[in-house]
Amino acid sequence: MPLQQAAKSQLEEKKKKSRVRFLVLLAIGMFAFSFAMVPLYSWVCAVTGANSIATNASTKTSGLEERKVDAARWITVEFDATINGNLAVEFRPGTRRLKIHPGEMQKLVYHAKNLTGKEITLQAVPGITPWQATEHLHKIECFCFTQQTLKAGEEVEMPLRFYVDSDLPKQYQRMTLSYSIMNIEGVTKAPQLELK
Amino acid sequence: MSSAVTANGHDEAHHHGPPKGIGRWLFSTNHKDIGTMYLFFSLIMLLLGGAMAMLIRAELFMPGLQLLEPDLYNNLVTNHALIMVFGAVMPAGVGLANWMIPMMIGAPDMALPRLNNLSFWLLPMAAIMLVSSMIVPFFPFGGGAVNTGWTLYPPLSVQAGMGMDLVIFTVHILGISSILGSINIITTIVNMRAPDMTWFKLPIFVWAWLFTAFLLILILPVLAGGVTMLLFDRHFGTSFFDAAGGGDPVLFQHLFWFFGHPEVYVLLLPSIGVLGMIIPTFARKPLFGYKPLIFFMGFLAILGMVVWAHHQYTIGMSLNTTTYFMIGTILISIPVGLMLFNFMCTMWRGSMTFETPMLFAISIILMFSFAGVTGVMLAVVPADLQYHDTYFVVAHFHYALIPGSVLGLFAATFYWLPKWTGNMYDEKLGKIFFWWNVISFNITFFPQHFSGLAGMPRRIVDYSGQFVEFNVISSLGAFMFGVSHLLFAYIIIKTIRGGEKAPDKPWEGGQIGTPGLEWTVSSPPPFHTFETPPAVK
């Protein structure tokens, strides 16, 4: 009888060990899963567009076709500049606000100055508010299409040419075009580009 | 009645009292002692986190800056949440599990007693680190305060000072402690049941903890991974969450809420289990729909894992994605609603009495359904875009977490205190505490629905003059609510020190429905129980 009991408790002990091992592996597996999320998340977002309510603000040249000017309508476009992180650069739009007609070609510059003591490579990423206006703002020429390399202390004027098409729904009379500038030193691929 | 206790008497070698001195606690492998330590730890943390809440409400008593610097205010908000969630509610749940699960299922102890000791003793270390995270910003080397709120979102959390590193390590340690505790609990439930304690004879509290423990094992490693990436971004030049390096700060939000939303059910389920014990006892009727309730808890646990992004409607996800998360979130109200109906049907035509635990249980059903209603409001995307980050959200989750988990733990304390200490608590003081606590809770948080709907943003030290009345009421309620917990601590200490002797089964309806082996041992139970497996009726 005691022998039987000993055998039984040995079996129980073995079962217990395998259960504990399973649970520990489950915890480690979930830890690994959190790191697997990094590539998985980018992939899912790129494939399904799950992370963006609008198409991303274009960083590509738009065509000039079917552009018609609607002189009866006025739209206010505001320009905004954000410096990412604690980057020592000066970055501001040459004009804060433009009042334009849909279809009219516009031109302005952004100023950037490198305040660090060394050469840096910058990339500007555009964003448009409200997001519904994103697909109606077409950039013909933009400094955000390329990377900018600035020598120590160098100051540049960066051009921007765009128009807003006349298909923009009537309720939008005001929009903001915002640029975040970031240091992409040591990054091989430009960030956030070409999601769609 | 107590055949198990007499059976213990035969085995002289093991029938000894607890060891003497501090060693009893430091080296304890006894589930009852460890459970007691867990419960006292969480009581201390409750008072500490509560004191922080008092400072927050004192600052918000009037608009303008009176007591606190904005950074310190935000640091208090962060630490209040972390201490309450990780320091008070979770350890209290584990403490109840430690005390009750082995006694309920007829096991001599937890399956892995030494691991149990480790799980507990990690906690005080983590608590010290968490408190230090608030202190280091006052030193010249400490950097900025942890002003992110408990969600620790980058890029702010990447820029914060040394306190953030302490918070990250605290989260690691607490996570390890909870995972080890969960492994222990699952192994105990699966392996250590008395021979005739079949799955569907288990008290509902045990089932609730089984689901909770699985949730913890699935979600805590993900949070640990997320904060590890944060640590790498802060110190090792990686760009997991830095857009300039090709990362995405929104990824952290997904990782955090993948943990954060199921965490709500981790906090809720043990208390649902407690309600499933208390309501049949005082209604003197078996639990209505025992098996369906288990199914609902399982359904809730699974569904709770896949709806996390409803905390992030404003980050600009695509319409299909938000629609999915909205529908999933609204679906959750089905199992939760059915659970509450289970409890109401249990009370239906029962012969009810209204001792303190039952009063708490009934108030929980009322107030938690209120949180459910505001939860459905918040789940609806167009409405949530308005309510997001307002005091409406603050009111919602305090209605969910205080009745849904904290009051459930209070109810459990009153319900099992006679069993733990061998003394009855003072029923009159218990009732005073109940009314004081519940009324002042409502005075504190009910007005926040209105200030939230009127647009008062959360996590900000100052507010606009139009919200003064609501905030004055809220603060006065909060002070009363805070002080009521001193009475709670007093009742516990008074009961430990003496009182009317409690019988083995102090509640007439204690064993209704499920076998309830905890009521077959004496009050207080001997140091070792069920060394020979008990018979289950």
Residue B482 is part of a domain; what is its CATH number? 1.20.210.10
The pLDDT value given to residue B531: 86
CA dihedral B306, B307, B311, B313 (to 10 degrees): 110
Within a domain: residue B131? yes
Cβ of residue B215 closer than 8 Å to a chain A Cβ: no
Q: Which residue type occupies B155? A: P
Within a domain: residue B191? yes
In the block, tokens 């857009």 appear at: B243
Q: Which residue of B has its CA nearest to A18?
A: B187
Domain count for chain B, please give it.
1
Kindly list the domain boundaries of chain A, sorted by start residue. 1-51, 75-183
Within a domain: residue B526? no
Q: Rounded distance, CA B145 to CA B164, Å?
A: 8
**Mutation choice for A interface testing from B112, B234, B317, B531 by most A CBs within 10 A:** B317
A187/B155 touch (CB, cutoff 8 Å), yes or no: no
Compute chain B's Rg from CA coordinates: 23
Q: What is the pTM of this model?
A: 0.88
Please state the rounded mean pLDDT for residues B206-224. Answer: 96
Q: A107 in helix, strand or coil?
A: strand
Report the topology of domain A75-183: Ctag/Cox11 (Pfam 04442) (2.60.370)
pLDDT at B346 over 90: yes
B226/A34 touch (CB, cutoff 8 Å), yes or no: yes
Q: Which residues pair with A113 in a beta bridge?
A: A90, A155
Within a domain: residue B7? no
Q: Rounded distance, CA B63 to CA B468, Å?
A: 7
Q: Please list, residue by residue across A94-125, b when 16 or more beta carbons sit within 10 angstroms of its beta carbon and e when fewer do.
A: eeeebebbbbbeeebebebebeeeeebebbbb
The answer to whether B530 touches B35, Cβ cutoff 8 Å, is no
Banded pLDDT at B15 (limits 50, 70, 90): low
Tens-place pLDDT, residues B297-332 = 999 999 999 999 999 999 888 888 999 999 999 999
A37/B254 touch (CB, cutoff 8 Å), yes or no: yes
Cβ of residue B489 closer than 8 Å to a chain A Cβ: no
Residue B93 host element (H or E): helix B90-105
A32 contacts on B by Cβ (under 8 Å): 225
Helices (H), chain A: 2-48
CA distance, residue B319 to nearest chain A CA (Å): 6
Banded pLDDT at B2 (limits 50, 70, 90): very low
Residue A182 host element (H or E): strand A174-183
Q: B355 in helix, strand or coil?
A: coil
pLDDT at B99 over 50: yes
Within a domain: residue B505? yes
Which distant-in-sequence residues (6+ apart) come within 8 Å of B401 by Cβ? B84, B89, B264, B267
CA distance, residue B113 to nearest chain A CA (Å): 13
Q: Which residues pair with A125 in a beta bridge?
A: A180
B221/A52 touch (CB, cutoff 8 Å), yes or no: no
The residues on A that touch B, with CB distances below 8 Å, are 12, 15-16, 19-20, 23-24, 26-35, 37-38, 41-42, 48-54, 84-85, 125, 131, 180, 182-184, 186-187, 189, 191-192
Distances B198 to B101, B178, B182, B189, B286 between C-alpha atoms, Å: 14, 26, 21, 11, 17
Report which of B384, B391, B374, B388 is spatially closest to residue B464, judged by C-alpha positions.
B391
Tens-place pLDDT, residues B436-472 = 999 999 999 999 999 999 999 999 999 999 999 999 9
A53/B225 touch (CB, cutoff 8 Å), yes or no: no
Tens-place pLDDT, residues B175-188 = 999 999 999 999 99
Instruction: For residue B10, count other CB atoms closer than 10 A to its CB.
Output: 10
Cβ of residue B493 closer than 8 Å to a chain A Cβ: no
Q: Rounded distance, CA B217 to CA A19, Å?
A: 13
In the block, tokens 């082996």 appear at: B517
Q: Which residue type occupies B102? A: P
CA distance, residue B369 to nearest chain A CA (Å): 32
The pLDDT value given to residue B10: 43
The backbone region for A179, taken as left when phi is positive above 0, alpha when psi lies in -120 to 50, beta otherwise, is beta
B223 contacts on A by Cβ (under 8 Å): 34
**Mutation choice for B interface testing from A23, A33, A55, A86 by most B CBs within 10 A:** A23
Out of A144-153, B85-94, B392-401, pick the least confident: A144-153
Q: Rounded distance, CA B352 to CA B484, Å?
A: 26
Q: Rounded distance, CA A28 to CA B490, Å?
A: 42
pLDDT at B4 over 60: no
CA distance, residue A15 to nearest chain B CA (Å): 8
Cβ of residue B236 closer than 8 Å to a chain A Cβ: no
Chains A and B form CB pairs within 8 A to the count of 113
The answer to whether B63 touches B151, Cβ cutoff 8 Å, is no
**Tokens representing B79?**
């630490």
The tens-digit pLDDT sequence of chain A (196 residues) is 566 777 777 888 888 899 999 999 999 999 999 999 999 998 888 888 777 776 666 555 665 556 778 888 899 999 999 988 778 899 999 999 999 998 888 899 999 999 888 888 888 888 888 888 888 888 888 888 888 888 888 889 999 999 888 888 888 999 999 998 888 775 544 444 443 3
The answer to whether B434 touches B359, Cβ cutoff 8 Å, is yes
The pLDDT value given to residue A186: 58
The pLDDT value given to residue A20: 93
Instruction: For residue B83, count other CB atoms closer than 10 A to its CB.
Output: 26
With a pLDDT cut of 70, the percent of chain B lying above it is 97
CA distance, residue B518 to nearest chain A CA (Å): 23
Domain with B330 in it: 30-518
Please state the rounded mean pLDDT for residues B153-174. Answer: 93
CA distance, residue B306 to nearest chain A CA (Å): 15
Q: Mean of the per-residue pLDDT values for chain B?
A: 92
pLDDT at B53 over 70: yes
Please state the rounded mean pLDDT for residues B424-438. Answer: 96
Cβ of residue B312 closer than 8 Å to a chain A Cβ: no
Tens-place pLDDT, residues B121-156 = 999 999 999 999 999 999 988 888 999 999 999 989
Q: Which residues pair with A89 in a beta bridge?
A: A114
Q: A59 in helix, strand or coil?
A: coil
Backbone angles phi, psi at A83, to 5 degrees: -100, 125
